[in-house]
Amino acid sequence: MAAETRARLLDPTELAKLASLSVRARVVVEGAFAGLHHNRHTGSSIEFAEHKEYAPGDDIRHIDWKAVGRVGRYYIKRFEDETEMRTHLLLDASASMGYGRLGVSKLEYAATLCAAIAYLLGQQGDPAGLLLFDERTRQYLPPRNRAGHMRALLASLEAAFPAGRTEAARALAEIGEVAGRRSLVMLFTDLLDAPPAVGDRLRQLRGHGHDVVVFHVLDRDEIELPLDELTHFEAIEPDDGRAVLADPRELRLAFRRESEAFRERWRNVCVDARVEYQLVMTDAAPSDVLRRFLFARQRTRAGT
């Protein structure tokens, strides 16, 4: 694929035009690994099993042939234990996730990123599940490797629509109840109006040995307020009908300060809970976000 064509396809808006979510997921993963191939310090796995390049004397039974097929080099999987790591993808589908003034909505973007991670895990033979939620659990698919599971998971992501309030704390508590043994828990949410209880639930999951990642998904408008005309602002999620007519140019400086404080507050909550925090902007190529995540995992494994 030519570099110009690849860049066009990896743009979130262009990516959304592809035929199906399964195709978009594959394109995102391929785009992420296209950037990883040229870095010898980067592994090829999203899981917790560390990879190292094969050396004479290594047990060939541990060669990851799927990684070989992707990167053209031989890698050895070194497992932390004999059981596979299960992954739970938690996707916030509340009304505020439907925002997307110029490009794709936060929900569409987060669903694509979820699909790409699920696709990558499936390629490795690792089970991934999905919890789709607003103020309640709309759907829960436990992590499985059964035939047809990936198809069902992608279909659920593709059918997701924004509605209702968000209750991320309740979703995290539910996963804490069903994820018996050590799991990887990934939360995709904008954290708008999220209560302090979310931080409590994150700490509880870590306390039970789960590894947790928060993908904080925001639209560029929620960072910069790049509007210039008199604008009618109203709440997206169901509330008391609050609305205001204002000149965004007069609000911009205060808005940016508050937005920065909001992001920093949640980053600190995650750091305090020993949870990985990933800020995700919906105008960034999802493949870049996935690559950054994989780099972060590799650095954590290397202890750097």
pLDDT single digits (tens) 140-152: 999 998 889 999 9
**With bands split at pLDDT 50, 70 and 90, how would you rate the model's confidence at 4?**
very low
pLDDT above 90 (res 163): yes
Q: What is the mean pLDDT of residues 168-179?
A: 96
Which one is predicted more confidently, 14 or 271?
271
Tokens in use for 279? 């800020």
φ and ψ at residue 219, rounded to 5 degrees: -85, 150
Closest CA to 219 of 17, 15, 12, 21: 12
Q: Which residues lie below 8 Å from residue 18, measured CB to CB, with a gap of 6+?
A: 9, 24, 27
CATH of domain 86-285: 3.40.50.410
The pLDDT mean for the chain works out to 81
Q: Give the least confident one: 39-43, 102-106, 196-200.
A: 39-43
- Cβ–Cβ under 8 Å, residues 111 and 160: yes
Given this model, what pLDDT does residue 140 score? 97
Predicted confidence (pLDDT) at residue 13 exceeds the cutoff of 80: yes
Helices (H), the chain: 3-10, 12-15, 21-36, 65-71, 106-124, 149-159, 168-178, 197-207, 221-224, 248-272, 286-302
What are the residues whose beta carbons fall under 8 Å from the beta carbon of 53, sequence distance 6 or more?
A: 73, 74, 75, 76
Give the residue with greater pLDDT, 250 vs 114.
114
Closest CA to 117 of 11, 182, 213, 5: 213
**Residues forming CATH 3.40.50.410 domain(s) in the chain:** 86-285
Band (pLDDT 50/70/90 cuts) for residue 235 is low
287: nearest Cα among 114, 30, 111, 37:
30
Q: Which amino acid is at 212?
A: V
Residue in 277, 254, 267, 260 with CA at minimum distance from that of residue 223: 260
The predicted pLDDT at position 56 comes to: 56
Comparison of pLDDT for 224 and 258, the residue scoring more: 258
Helix (H, G, I), strand (E, B) or coil at 290: helix
Is residue 189 within 8 Å of 216, Cβ to Cβ?
yes
Q: pLDDT higher for 225 or 48?
A: 225
Q: At 237, which amino acid appears?
A: E
Rounded to a whole number of angstroms, the distance between the first and last alpha carbons of the chain is 34
On whether the CB atoms of residues 114 and 89 are closer than 8 A, the answer is: yes
Cα dihedral: 113, 114, 119, 123 (round 10): 100
Q: What are phi and psi of 271, to 5 degrees?
A: -60, -45
33: tokens are: 């690994």
Q: Looking up tokens 């599971």, which residue turns up?
A: 149
State the Cα–Cα distance between residues 277 and 271, nearest whole angstrom.
7
